Structure 1
């Protein structure tokens, strides 16, 4: 039963399938990162929508001259001396000048912005404030919807999906809180590879695959 539970758990469970994908993605990201930056370089990183625990398994916070800034709508807890948290809006960052950061990073955030217009605003701000960027999002065309772990949930009417989330345990073996379910249904707008390329027209696309299918998409200019 623990295997099944871990399989369906969200990625903040270190034993979950999502966490295993995230760890591999982090490794691939760091391989790209160190092609662009020396370990002794002074490096400013902006993590849009990030959490401190994401960097626990990363080698980046151990670099001598790095500073990682977490940007969220609310203050995030962090005790690491090289990771700080600020309050801000991913779609509008007037507090940061052009090219303020050596790298802008974001993991599974851009699909939570309600509208295509907001996603465009976030992408434009990322390209404005960052010299380099690495932006990940689940692939809309992958058969298992990433947030609910329900096959083809992204194509279901919201009323039916709300019923499945709140009245059954088909999503991650548990019933969702109605308020939480409603919020997710309103805010999530999944992207496909074509749209990510539109948002970041000069980017390369890194494809994260599972059983030959594209599970998530990362747009980057790490070259």
Structure 2
């Protein structure tokens, strides 16, 4: 189901993107926290004059010359000048920043370095928590969720490594539509729905 939503989101992103940019002009994209394989089903890497910069805490292995890996911090990007990218994209990263303050810093940096943006995050209030695939896990006490992750196979039919489980519990701060609107004022909200419920939220200024 997740792959189906990602593919549709990517198609809709491209439809919106080409309302703003020509396929023949030079285009520079920053993917915050991204990987090259995410773009495998996209038509964007096939454009003649495109560069996609992947910003991560560690260097990514790159095989396609149209991609570039940069080591950096999503909350502080002094290596990039204002409006140096035509599009800043990010998929399920902004909820991994521990605090609201860090999420604000990331949003501000995205709007500083990018002319356009498309930033996706799971919806806090969707019944199935996206990272653990456990219904209503976002409402559990941290100690109970840690126990379920490390001692049972309720999360994706496997037991989590204790360090990985604690890391996720520490870093994830889920967002809702109101907070995304506050982080990206003036942006449109692209809402993905499942059975009438909002599964994920993307803030963008492409329309």
**The TM-score by the shorter chain falls in which range?**
over 0.9
Q: Distance in 2 between matches of 1:159 and 1:77?
A: 36
SS at match of 2:86: strand
Residue in structure 1 matched with residue 80 of structure 2 by the alignment = 96
Q: For 2:125, which of 134, 138, 141 is the aligned residue?
A: 141
Is 1:206 aligned to 2:198, yes or no? no
Gaps of 5+ in 1: 1-16
Distance in 2 between residues matched to 1:65 and 1:208, nearest whole Å: 31
CA distance in 2 between partners of 1:164 and 1:24 (Å): 32
SS at match of 2:101: helix
What does residue 21 of structure 2 align with? 37
1:106 paired with 2:72, answer: no
Q: CA RMSD in A?
A: 0.5
1:84 corresponds in structure 2 to 68
Deviations 1:117-166 (A, max 9, x none): 00000000000000000000000010000000000000100000000000
Indicate which of 167, 170, 173 corresponds to 2:157.
Answer: 173
Aligned counterpart in structure 1 of residue 52 of structure 2, from 63, 68, 73: 68
Write out per-residue CA displacement over residues 70-129 of structure 1, whole angstroms, 9 at most, x where no aligned residue.
000000111011011000000000011100101000000000000000000000000000
Q: CA deviation at 1:24?
A: 1.1
* TM-score for the superposition, normalised by structure 2: 0.99
SS of the residue aligned with 2:165? helix
Look up the SS of the partner of 2:62 in the other structure: coil
- Residue in 2 aligned with 1:10? none
* Separation of aligned partners in 2, 1:202 and 1:95: 26
Q: How does 1:110-189 map to 2 (within 5 A)?
A: 110-189=94-173
Partner residue of 2:5? 21
Separation of aligned partners in 1, 2:71 and 2:27: 21
CA deviations on 1:44-81 (whole Å, 9 max, x unpaired) are 00000000100111100000111000000000111011
What is the aligned residue count?
207
Unmatched runs of 5 consecutive residues or more in structure 2 = none
For 1:169 and 1:154, the matched residues in 2 are separated by 17
Give, in whole Å, the separation in 2 of the partners of 1:120 and 1:211.
31
